[in-house]
């Protein structure tokens, strides 16, 4: 394989997160750039950034003129929003950012592509959202973006469940206000059957994690989907598969997001 040479003209992209050792996005982004013969013109490197350093890092990057953007991951997805100059509608509504770009003016703009990535990943594998009843587990940053995307893409009914019910209620109210045609609720529906179940919690990231949904409820699910990418077969997906339910792992969401993120950071397609 020919060696890729970075030069003074290389436009720099970053992964801003902590930790970064197990992150998949640097490999995915640079592999995509290599496939397009753009690696060298652009490159993405991980930047291990502790919580307390985030503000200083963003300030310093404003002075780095070959910096064109960054993927933002845990624990910075909420903390970075107030440090930016412009936020997309999704970022304003959720308070979460997972990708930023440097505008030609030098201003920093941010958006959240978790939701669009989930929907695009589902579509790429032949699954539709429009007209479906959906159960979303979680009400954090990724879940908020997914809730918005499901409603935007025509989900007929959306139930949101979270360990803290108040947070689910706030998210449900925000989505219902923005998309009144979607029937949104934060009430637990133990006996309901859903066309699509999505886990947007952290359950499944660590060995020994339990499933975020009971076996009885999974038995009534249609498609069961994950956001977790740390392991391909999470407890949720394993139970669903044992029950004969169709499953959708977390990696397609990340792969779809990579395309969207690279485009957002200004790399021509």
| Contacts of 30 by beta carbon, 8 Å cutoff, 6+ apart | 39, 43, 44
Task: Spot the catalytic one: 11, 24, 77, 177.
Answer: 77
Our answer to whether residue 77 is catalytic in this structure is: yes
DSSP letter, residue 103? -
| Contacts of 212 by beta carbon, 8 Å cutoff, 6+ apart | 137, 138, 199, 201, 203, 204, 236
DSSP letter, residue 211? P
- Cα 184 to chain centroid distance, Å, stands at 21
CA separation for the pair 147, 175 (Å, rounded): 7
Tokens of 203: 């359950």
Enumerate long-range contacts of 50-57, CB under 8 Å, 24 or more apart: 50/18, 51/18, 51/75, 51/76, 51/79, 54/16, 54/79, 54/80, 54/83, 55/83, 57/16
Tokens of 66: 């070959």
Instruction: For the chain, count helices (H), then strands (E).
Output: 9, 12
Catalytic center residues? 77
């Amino acid at each position: 394989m020919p060696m890729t040479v970075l030069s003074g003209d290389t436009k720099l992209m970053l992964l801003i997160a902590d930790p970064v050792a197990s992150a998949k996005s640097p490999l995915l982004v640079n592999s995509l750039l290599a496939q397009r013969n753009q690696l060298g013109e652009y490159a993405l490197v991980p930047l291990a950034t502790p919580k307390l350093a985030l503000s200083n890092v963003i300030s310093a990057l404003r002075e780095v003129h070959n910096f064109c953007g960054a993927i933002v991951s845990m624990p910075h997805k909420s903390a970075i929003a107030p440090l930016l100059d412009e936020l997309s509608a999704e970022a304003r509504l959720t308070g979460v950012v997972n990708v930023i770009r440097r505008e030609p003016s030098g201003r920093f703009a941010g958006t959240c592509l978790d939701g669009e990535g989930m929907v695009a990943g589902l579509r790429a594998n032949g699954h539709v959202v429009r007209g479906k009843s959906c159960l979303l587990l979680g009400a954090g940053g990724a879940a908020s973006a997914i809730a918005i995307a499901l409603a935007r893409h025509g989900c007929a009914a959306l139930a949101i469940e979270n360990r803290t019910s108040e947070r689910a209620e706030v998210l449900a109210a925000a989505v219902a206000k923005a998309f009144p045609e979607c029937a949104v609720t934060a009430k637990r529906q133990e006996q309901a059957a859903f066309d699509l179940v999505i886990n947007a919690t952290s359950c499944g990231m660590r060995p020994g994690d339990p499933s975020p949904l009971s076996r009885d409820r999974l038995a009534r699910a249609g498609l069961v989907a994950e956001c977790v990418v740390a392991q391909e077969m999470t407890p949720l997906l394993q139970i669903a598969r044992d029950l004969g339910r169709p499953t959708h792992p977390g990696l397609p969401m990340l792969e779809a997001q990579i395309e969207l993120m690279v485009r957002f950071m200004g790399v021509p397609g």
